[in-house]
Structure 1
Amino acid sequence: MPDNPRNEPEDEKPATRLEARRQAMLEAAAQLFFEVGYERSSVNEIVRRSGGSLTTLYQLFGSKEGLFEVMVQDRCTRILEPLSAADLPAKPPQEALRALGYRFMEVVYCPEVIAVIRTVIGEGAKLTNVAQIYFRNGPDNAIGKLSAYLAELDRTGAAHCPDPAFCAKSYFMLLHNDIFFRVLAGVRPPPDMAEIKAHVDKAVDLFWRAIAVE
């Protein structure tokens, strides 16, 4: 009987197993970091929850700090993926800004997103590279997408945005408003969809008045 009856390349099965182990460790690490914070999380507990071995963990991530960095990067990538569905260029500007605002607010108030941000804030002063990874893959990525859209509006004369990056940051700050920081601090629950829509509509109206061409 042949050793590989399914005719799979010999290196595919180990690679697949290693990737599965990597994902399991990322999930276990995320759960533990969110539960007890970075400092109180141990690599032994992550291995216990995910299976595998310490050797595999260090082979894949180098250290606990390396695992934390990859976890933040992985979560930020997932978090921002829905924003691509806003399909900005296909809509009139105000409608596009509303679509982006609704999607952004839905994403940012997901429990996992709040957990990521709280974790990064809690550990960022000690692990500045982790905070940089979060901003590069999270807020800066979203700002870049909106900046490119606003730059095109300015180029075509549809809006006045001579500094697209500043305008993009200003729009996201209007969306965050006081609500986000109160939710982050745990003093109020996340807004429901009715509150999100009302808030986004007001933010878009105010923002559009600032960039509209007279």
Structure 2
Amino acid sequence: MMNNIRMRDDSTVAIGLTPKGQERQRKILEAARDVFLEQGFERASIHEIMQRAGGSISTLYRLYGNKLGLFEAMIMQSTSDLFPITDESDIWTDNVEESLLQFGQVLLEVLGQTEARSIRRIALSVSSADSEAIRKVFYEQGPRRVQRLLAAYLTRQKLLGKVNVVDVDIASAQFIEMVKSPWYHKAEFGFPIESGEPERSLQQAVVMFMQGVVVN
């Protein structure tokens, strides 16, 4: 789908590009994000994206192949910007409770941002032949990426005998959903969120998780 791009959990990396080329790529992705957010995937114009970014259409096609490839790269970059946690992040410590709190706090910050919710709406609103591919891109580079990061940490803690779960992948998804409920779902439907509700959801999620899976 895309040329000269390597996919990683923490960023979209240009292969074989000069610093100037990498900066050009960044401008294209930023322009693409703005246009996709304003117009949606189907109405977004490649020509308008390149007008804002500067450069030629041929450069865009050489880097990303087509509009779907550009959207995928934009999602990867936006997710990396919004959720800059990797498996090597210093939020992961030997203290499980502390790590869950720090992970959850970053998650709250991301979920509270309008941009993150807007990108999700774009992915879900596409009705063209690309709809399945768009949803898969968003899921893999957004929610699934975040879940994998937590699952990787829980796997390490399970090997150390600190957590007792049958399936770390399911456990990571369950923790994330506890952090999101019920405030995030209310926000999606336009209902008001009580002051401090996201923070209380996080605190309770950590307490429940610690009581349920952490080995004392």
The TM-score, its normalising length taken from structure 1, stands at 0.79
Determine the structure 1 residue equivalent to 2:183.
179
Among candidates 195, 198, 202, match of residue 196 of structure 1: 198
Q: Distance in 1 between matches of 2:18 and 2:103?
A: 38
Q: Distance in 2 between matches of 1:148 and 1:74?
A: 21
SS in structure 1 at match of 2:41:
coil
Amino acid in structure 2 at the alignment position of 1:50: A
Q: Rg bigger for which structure? A: 1
**Cα contact 2:147–2:173 (8 A) shared by 1:** yes
**Cα contact 1:47–1:53 (8 A) shared by 2:** yes
Flag the 1:93–1:23 CA change in 2: closer, same or farther, 3 A. Answer: closer
**Cα contact 1:83–1:104 (8 A) shared by 2:** no
**Cα contact 2:151–2:169 (8 A) shared by 1:** yes
Relative to structure 2, which stretch is displaced further, 66-75 or 128-137?
128-137
1:170 aligns to 2:174 (yes or no): yes
Flag the 1:212–1:36 CA change in 2: closer, same or farther, 3 A. Answer: same
Instruction: Report the identity percentage.
Output: 25
1:54 aligns to 2:54 (yes or no): no
Size of the aligned set, in residue pairs, is 198
Q: Distance in 2 between matches of 1:124 and 1:162?
A: 38
Where does 1:3-14 land on structure 2 (aligned, <5 Å)?
none
Where does 1:114-125 land on structure 2 (aligned, <5 Å)?
114-123=117-126
Amino acid in structure 1 at the alignment position of 2:64: F
Structure 1 unaligned runs (5+)?
A: 1-13
Report Cα offsets for 1:48-72 as digits up to 9, x if no partner. Answer: 2222222222222222222112111
Determine the structure 1 residue equivalent to 2:211.
209
**Cα contact 2:97–2:210 (8 A) shared by 1:** yes
Flag the 1:160–1:37 CA change in 2: closer, same or farther, 3 A. Answer: same
Amino acid in structure 1 at the alignment position of 2:21: L
Flag the 1:87–1:53 CA change in 2: closer, same or farther, 3 A. Answer: same
**Cα contact 2:180–2:201 (8 A) shared by 1:** no
**Cα contact 1:72–1:130 (8 A) shared by 2:** no
SS in structure 2 at match of 1:57:
helix
Report Cα offsets for 1:138-173 as digits up to 9, x if no partner. Answer: 222222222232233333333321211111111011
Task: Please give the root-mean-square deviation of Cα atoms over the aligned residues, in Å.
Answer: 2.6
Amino acid in structure 2 at the alignment position of 1:104: L
